[in-house]
Amino acid sequence: MRELVEIILANDLHPLVRKRLAEVVQLLQVYARLAEFEINAGERPSAGDVALPEDTAGRIRGWAEDEEEREREREAMVGELSEAMRAHGHDPTPIRETMGG
């Protein structure tokens, strides 16, 4: 989780991707807290119940990078579509609002 928090704090990601990544970290924190509750209740969770796969941080980083690229492509498409609409005398505001641009 530390690596993921560092990625979020680096502020290198698109704000939407950073928000989604922060949500993933929150889910991981809930997962860790549940394991802590089980241990405090006297239950001994097995290692597989507590540990995440070793490649979790890498997989999430890859997902964030892919999302970042998709977000850039979406923004470029919204910009191109808006310009084309303006060139033909149409208001691009509804498209921009619908697509979040």
Q: What is the pLDDT of residues 47-85, one digit of tens each?
A: 665 566 778 778 888 888 888 888 889 888 888 988 998
User: Could you give the CA distance from residue 68 to residue 59 in angstroms, rounded to a whole number?
Assistant: 14
- Count of structural domains, the chain: 1
Given this model, what pLDDT does residue 45 score? 63
> Above 70 in pLDDT, residue 98?
yes
Span 31-58, average pLDDT: 74
Given this model, what pLDDT does residue 87 score? 93
User: Could you give the CA distance from residue 68 to residue 81 in angstroms, rounded to a whole number?
Assistant: 20
Given this model, what pLDDT does residue 89 score? 92
- Which residue, 10, 8, 48, 1, is CA-closest to 28? 1
Q: Look up the domain containing 89 and give its range.
A: 2-99
For 32, other C-beta atoms within 10 Å of its C-beta total: 13
